Amino acid sequence: MAGKILIVDDSRMLRLSLGTALRTLGHEVVEAEHGDEALKRLGEHKDICLVISDITMPWKDGLELLQEIKASAEYNKIPVLMLTAEGNPEEIKKAIQLGCRGWMIKPFKEETLKNTLKSLLA
């Protein structure tokens, strides 16, 4: 199940706590503060197996990032999990239409994270 996961969130504290949880589960972690930086990290790390992204971020938000990932021949097979404080049904619907493979609400529970990763990386 272990692999390299890209965390995209403008909150340093969230990246730290999520990164710690993922490392505990045996994953390698790459971080980005916003969507533009995430695209750069995807180019630098060709072995990323999952992107976990917030929605609300400066410069390029999570939905814009998701749209670019899914439009890219190079990255479109990488599953994207949205992790956000937003529970807006319209955003969830839009993310699913854009190709989002999972959705978790902050604050995340480690057991939920573990089960979600198991299904996404199976």
As for how many domains the chain has, the answer is: 1
| Domain boundaries, position 10 | 4-120
Burial-class residue 58 by CB neighbours within 10 Å (0-12, 13-18, 19+): exposed
CA separation, residue 26 to residues 22, 49, 54 (Å)? 7, 13, 22
For the ranges 14-28, 66-80, 86-100, the lowest mean pLDDT is seen at: 86-100
Residue 93: pLDDT band with limits 50, 70, 90? confident
> Which CATH number fits the domain that encloses residue 26?
3.40.50.2300
- Structure-model confidence comparison of residues 106 and 66, the more confident one: 66
- pLDDT at residue 106, rounded to an integer: 85
Return the sign of the alpha-carbon dihedral for residues 95, 65, 10, 39: positive
In tens, the pLDDT along 40-90 reads 999 999 999 999 999 988 888 899 999 999 999 999 999 999 988 867 788
Q: What is the 3-state secondary structure (H, E, C) of 72-120?
A: CCCCCCCCEEEEECCCCHHHHHHHHHHCCCEEEECCCCHHHHHHHHHHH
Radius of gyration of the chain (CA): 13
What predicted TM-score, i.e. pTM, was given to this entire model?
0.93
pLDDT tops 60 at residue 1:
no
Dist CA 55 CA 93 (whole Å): 13
First to last CA, the chain: 7
